[in-house]
Amino acid sequence: MNRQRISALANKDARELIRNPGAIVPPVLMVFASLVPAFLVTIGAPMIAGETLEESGDFVEESARAINMIPELAALTGEALIQAFLFHQFALLLLMVPVVAATSLATHAVIGEKQAKALEPILATPISTIELLMAKTLTPFVFALALTWSAAALYVAGILAAGEPGVWRAVIGVRTLIMFVILGPLVELATLQVSVLVSSRANDPRSAQQFTSLIILPITAVFIAQLMGGFVVGAPALLLGVAGVLVLNGLLLWLGVQVFQRETILTRWR
Amino acid sequence: MAADLLVADRLTRTFGDRVAVRDLSLSVATGEIVALLGPNGAGKTTTMRMLAGLILPTAGRIAIDHVDISEATADLARRSVGLLTETPGLWERLTVRFNLLTYARLHGLDRPAEQVDRVLAEVDLADRADDLAGTLSKGLKQRAALARALIHRPPVVLLDEPTSGLDPASARHVRDLILGLRNEGRAVLVSTHNLAEAEELADRIAVIKTQLLAFDAPAALRGRREGITVAIEFDDGSKHSVEVRDLSEVPDLVQRLVHEGKRIVRVVPDRRSLEDVYLSLVGADS
């Protein structure tokens, strides 16, 4: 495997991305918008209703139960505890949105080159299939990571500014670090690998995009189930998830190389 | 005799039940330009792709720079061959320089920036290096694409319809660049529809329509037709065409006509055009 070839193609993709505001602005706006629900539910709604979450009785039991799964919450009581609980629950949304945003780039990765008639010259170089797939995943991955971490920084800054004292500290715990530094990036990588894989098999970007939109369904399901059922995915479950997604990433890379058919792409796509 | 840098031996390529190329053999030597002529769907692009290591032949053998190409060595073909694709396929949001720099890195070249400067000078595009590729005219894009094909100094150059859609001046410039490749000792295979271009550029012409129909020097191809038409003009202004098997029959023909009392002003053997030969080979409907 040649790192120079991977970085050359990924660098090219990054330059193209930077020169295309139409591809950057919507994902960035989407990520900013994803911050709103957490603050709306936790800070905005009680202000509008004129009573705190604790006074309304919402999420009181769920918050108390969550202390078992998120030890950082133990230092808090009352409104601060409920706020910290809710901010933890909404954090999953911050992982989901950058993935959705970056899949549009990844989905376009191979099929976009084909449409621009640029794929044949690329394939005429010594680049191997695995190098091509890695290069095509790298730029969307870095983009998704930058979006995720920017969103996380803004999230914590918002909590610091608008939340009860100490809430922000309870939000930055082991669970959050696992989510944003290990599991989140791995899930993003897996999702983007699937997107690139679909991009290498689909006939046009729209069908590829529609197919990859199905990928986020499991994450959405976990997020909604969390909010509806009030359960918390704790650090041990997240670490188990890390192991699973790590294996999944390896499998996806292998599968991507197996299903990438240079000849089919060149001779059958129009 | 110059060594063959590119050898295709009985190449066949099928796609499902469809045979795109059958039993095709040709070679291109050092410092030689071979034109690949054929109608649409004749298998020219498929042949180019096989020779560039992009797709594998179903049967037959390819050797590039004396190394046999297989699935395991297709990578070697891609290092030794420069391919100009039918459409330039440049990244239009990026500068010409960055387009080429990316390819220099994909080929793993040392000092890629210097290689880009060199190849830009070769195709006379240095003054447009920092322009976005999307802002170039079609002719300049084709030159940039040619620069991309030559960035790694390949001994074998495959050019798929290099002047297609270009205005006469741009086409002339590209043709001059192609002639320059011969002088550098590269083996050049040019796929084209343009018979005049093939005749001007090529040392040998391969006419294909799924299979190889003819492979010879342009002059030899022109002389392939059986029989020659001789146009005879008489002093009364009348003209007459006579078919002879070869030019050696002309003196006897003239003598016979003179003996019959004809006063001949001019006898012109009708030099057959490459187009006639091409059409007779591939069929006029092509």
Buried b / exposed e across B145-160, counting CB within 10 Å, b at 16+? bbbbbbbbebbbbbbb
* ipTM, interface predicted TM-score of the complex: 0.81
Residue A59 has pLDDT above 90, yes or no: no
Residue B211's pLDDT band (cuts 50, 70, 90): very high
Residues in A lying within 8 Å of B, measured between beta carbons: 2, 4-5, 7-9, 11-12, 15-16, 19-20, 116-128, 262-263, 266-267
Report, as an integer, the average pLDDT of B169-189: 89
Q: How near does any CA of chain B get to the CA of A135, in Å? A: 11
Can you give the pLDDT at residue A228? 65
Q: How many CB atoms lie within 10 A of CB B205?
A: 27
What percent of chain B is modeled with pLDDT above 70?
95
Contacts of B148 in chain A (CB under 8 A): 121
Contacts of B149 in chain A (CB under 8 A): 121
Contacts of A9 in chain B (CB under 8 A): 102, 106
Residue A191 has pLDDT above 80, yes or no: yes
Contacts of B83 in chain A (CB under 8 A): 120-121, 124
From chain B residues 137-176, the ones with a CB under 8 A of any chain A CB are 145, 148-149
Nearest chain B residue to A11, by CA? B102
Can you give the pLDDT at residue B10? 94
Contact partners, residue A78, CB within 8 Å, separation at least 6: A54
Residue recorded with tokens 């022109």? B222
Distance between CA atoms of residues A237 and B266, nearest Å:
100
Instruction: For chain A, say whether B79 makes contact (Cβ under 8 Å).
Output: yes
Report, as an integer, the average pLDDT of A111-122: 87
Report, as an integer, the average pLDDT of B183-206: 90
Contacts of B92 in chain A (CB under 8 A): 116
3-state SS, B110-145, equals CCHHHHHHHHHHHCCCHHHCCCEHHHCCHHHHHHHH
Of A16, A117, A266, nearest to B54 by CB-CB distance is A266
Can you give the pLDDT at residue B128? 93
* Cβ pair B89:A20 closer than 8 A: no
Length of chain A, in residues:
270
Residue B73 has pLDDT above 90, yes or no: no
* Cβ pair A20:B106 closer than 8 A: no
Residue B179 has pLDDT above 60, yes or no: yes
Number of H helices, E strands in chain B: 10, 13
Question: B159 or A106: whose pLDDT is higher?
Answer: B159
Report, as an integer, the average pLDDT of B158-169: 87
Of A15, A125, A262, nearest to B106 by CB-CB distance is A125
Strand, helix or coil at A163?
A: coil
Residue A70 has pLDDT above 90, yes or no: no
| Contact yes or no for A19/B93 (Cβ under 8 A) | yes
3-state SS, B36-59, equals EECCCCCCHHHHHHHHCCCCCCCE
Can you give the pLDDT at residue B29? 93
* Cβ pair A12:B54 closer than 8 A: no
What Cα–Cα distance (Å) separates residue B267 from each residue in B125, B219, B242, B250, B256?
50, 21, 10, 9, 13
Q: Bridge-partner residues for B189, per DSSP?
A: B34, B158
3-state SS, B231-268, equals EEEECCCCEEEEEECCHHHHHHHHHHHHHCCCCEEEEE
Which pLDDT tens digit goes with each residue over A6-35?
999 999 999 998 988 888 888 888 888 888
pTM: 0.82
Contact partners, residue A192, CB within 8 Å, separation at least 6: A99, A102, A103, A106, A137, A140, A141, A144
Residue B164's pLDDT band (cuts 50, 70, 90): confident
Distance between CA atoms of residues B136 and A122, nearest Å:
21
Of A4, A117, A124, nearest to B83 by CB-CB distance is A124
Which pLDDT tens digit goes with each residue over A81-91?
899 888 988 88
Alpha-carbon torsion angle B114, B116, B119, B121, nearest 10:
-80
Alpha-carbon torsion angle B106, B109, B111, B113, nearest 10:
-40
Which pLDDT tens digit goes with each residue over B92-128?
999 999 999 999 999 999 999 999 999 999 888 999 9
Stretch among A193-207, A251-265, B150-164, B271-285 having the lowest mean pLDDT? B271-285
Can you give the pLDDT at residue A52? 86
Question: B32 or A54: whose pLDDT is higher?
Answer: B32
* Cβ pair B106:A116 closer than 8 A: no
Report, as an integer, the average pLDDT of A208-226: 72
Can you give the pLDDT at residue B285? 54
Which pLDDT tens digit goes with each residue over B19-58?
999 999 999 999 999 999 998 888 999 999 999 988 889 9
Instruction: For chain A, say whether B277 makes contact (Cβ under 8 Å).
Output: no
Phi, psi at residue A114, to the nearest 5°?
-65, -45
Of B55, B91, B107, nearest to A125 by CB-CB distance is B107
Of A19, A123, A127, nearest to B93 by CB-CB distance is A19
